[in-house]
Amino acid sequence: MIVVGLTGRIGAGKSTVAGLFADRGAFVVDADRIAHELLAEPEVGRLVSGRFGPGVVAADGSVDRRKLAKLVFGPTAEHAASLEDLEAIIHPRVAARINAILDARSAAEPSRPVVLDVPLLLKSGLTHRCTHVVEVVCDEPVRRARLAARGWDATEIEARDAAWARSRSRPGARETDERPPPANFLDTSGDVRYTSRLVDQLLGTMGR
């Protein structure tokens, strides 16, 4: 089964590329959506509350992601340590769900490609499941303009970029033993039609 690991910085265009793969028949697994679902679960809420305090948990037991983000995304060593602690809670659970999805897809529909939209792929412990890795990139002014259009300010962008940089310099435990497939770089700086052609070219190299 073809399994494409899709990664890249926030605002680079991962969601657009994932959608283009889906348009061509791929089954897309969104790691961020799974993480959001987990943060709504009371059990995870209790773990997060135990580490970050009750102020980040709503009355229904779900985690207030905006409050939590202020604690874990930033330039300081404290931010970095907080993010590591949050990832220790969330990442194994996300990986377990994705592994279960991959096992089910392999049994039910092995001829259909699967795309794993996982921003921090190298830290996820999932690259050993990937037959291909695609890193989405774009020109920096384009990326920042996209994020500004979403309402992100420069401080928020820098905080997320710092977390991304740390994830690249400190890969997950599985990658110390298993080398991920070489990355294909897909530039989304152009319009959607241009990106669409690049996706078609990539699928061609993957045998689809």
Rounded CA-CA distance 73/167 in Å is 12
Digitized pLDDT (tens) for each residue of the chain, 208 residues in all: 999 999 888 899 999 999 999 999 999 999 999 999 999 888 898 999 999 999 998 888 788 988 998 898 887 889 889 989 999 999 999 999 999 999 999 999 999 999 999 887 877 788 889 999 999 999 999 999 999 998 888 888 888 887 777 776 654 444 444 555 767 899 999 999 999 999 999 988 887 6
Q: Residue 63 region, left (φ>0) first, then alpha (ψ -120 to 50), else beta?
A: beta
Q: Phi and psi for 120 in degrees, rounded to 5? A: -100, 55
Domain annotation for the chain: domains and CATH numbers = 3-205 (3.40.50.300)
Closest by CA position to 36, among listed 116, 94, 104, 92: 94
* H or E element at residue 32: helix 31-39
Rounded CA-CA distance 197/202 in Å is 9
What's the pTM value of the predicted model, to 2 decimals? 0.86
Q: Give the total residue count for the chain.
A: 208
Rounded CA-CA distance 152/79 in Å is 19
Rounded CA-CA distance 82/86 in Å is 6
